[in-house]
A and B are shown apart, each in its own frame.
Chain A
């Protein structure tokens, strides 16, 4: 008899579909920021739960599509294939840009290179250059530490440079693992969100400023003014996608992000405020 009671305890609330949790998924770039926002959000609005998961940007959008997320964090804009899938399901989606991110290319700090050209980056990441000798004069194999193919960061770098990644690029689980690998690997190169470099410990690595052609000045992703002006080559808006139908449910959280407190958290986490 006691047993049935246990079942009831579990099953009854499951049936009553009062769903007060906002599920936010996707984008390793944004997950940490989202966690910090959710922490502070709880202080002002304890009645609404927020659960957050990371993974790639693809995960967020896929989860939104699959109905397992209310908000999809994404560091890339939604692509036409995904839009088609939403249309097929008859779900209308809206988006909201809540911060700007810049991708930083990092190497170990003893590698003799101070800035990098986008053509050279394309050569390195596509596997055309296998050795550092032509760039730095040091005869060392280039080790690439990248993200999994489903990550928005991976996708963004690939599209921006117009290349396919060499299959020998190591696919790391997240930005943090990349930084850790670069610290240990003196001939490695990797890419991470600028927020990770400014916020996390950055001893042992350096960020390469990027330029497009020789006459141009190389721009660092840590230069807030250049980011605000939209001048850095690898910069991008951070999106939050949601189904138009569930706007009322997630509105309290979006409002909190736009508030002064929210914007301050975004800045402290190493991201840049939205260009207005």
Chain B
């Protein structure tokens, strides 16, 4: 009897774990097996044609890259500065506690609400219109708490003795941060930045009303234009397009490219972290 119960417990725990692996397996298998055949050099270097029933996803890829770029250069300096303040300057105080609580709550706000905020602030109040700039800034705000948390973790791993040594040599606190702390924490920060990019590349809800378009017939690097994005392209192809069945292979292809892009970024981040950890 006892043995059966033990076996049952084993199955319960192992089964749950296997189930989680199975879920990932099914997701990847379904998308890759049906999507890989659509992915080709042609697919990622051409414009959509014939009313988006043929051709490639080039403008969506360019749009996603441009969007991620704007998101990153906006959120990274802010995020790092905030993390530096929290980890290097701030003493435990009410203010510090409020800042930390704000960051944790910002991380919990649904992404669609960031979309509303971006619409009210960037599109309307600042008159940036629906554009890749508005969308990038909105995603930048969304990424802030994430960048701050990962950067702070990286800063925490720098031993205090290093800071003390520099300070004892007569460097000011800023010089210590600039010349010792940040360079040493760089791999950790970089990991966070890359993971943020991967999240930004996959987000859809915040860009819905801040600048993403179904289709654009040319490529321009100008940030005050509307743009196409990979995740939105997938959404559009699978729910909004006129002939959903006809474009299903394109939707699978887009999903494959999107997931591959996100995974590549994650693997790069993982590699940096791994290399850095083993060095210590």
Contact = CB atoms under 8 A, between A and B. Distances in A.
A3 B239 contact: no
Contact of A3 (B77, B223, B244): B77
A13 B222 contact: yes
Nearest to B226: A51
B76 to A, nearest CB: 9
A269 interface: yes
A176 B213 contact: no
A257 to B, nearest CB: 14
B245 A180 contact: yes
Interface string B57-81: 0000000000000100100010000
B225 A49 contact: yes
Contact of B244 (A23, A51, A177): A177
Interface of A is mostly: helix
Contact of B218 (A13, A46, A179): A46
Interface string B114-151: 00000000011000111101000000000000000000
A176 B225 contact: no
Interface residues of A, number: 44
A49 B214 contact: no
Interface string A171-185: 001111101100000
Contact of A10 (B133, B217, B240): B133
Nearest to B244: A176
B278 interface: no
B120 to A, nearest CB: 12
Contacts of B227: 51
Interface string A1-42: 001001100110110010101010000100111011011011
A167 to B, nearest CB: 21
B50 interface: yes
Interface stretch (A83-91, A107-115, A194-202, A236-244): A194-202
B136 to A, nearest CB: 8
Contacts of A180: 244-245
A175 B240 CA distance: 8
9 contacts: A14-B128, A32-B242, A35-B214, A35-B215, A51-B215, A51-B216, A51-B226, A53-B213, A177-B244
Interface of B: 47-52, 70, 73, 77, 123-124, 128-131, 133, 212-218, 220-227, 236, 239-246
Given A11-B223, A32-B242, 15 more contacts: A10-B70, A14-B133, A31-B242, A35-B52, A36-B50, A38-B215, A39-B51, A50-B218, A52-B215, A53-B212, A53-B214, A54-B240, A68-B130, A174-B242, A200-B246
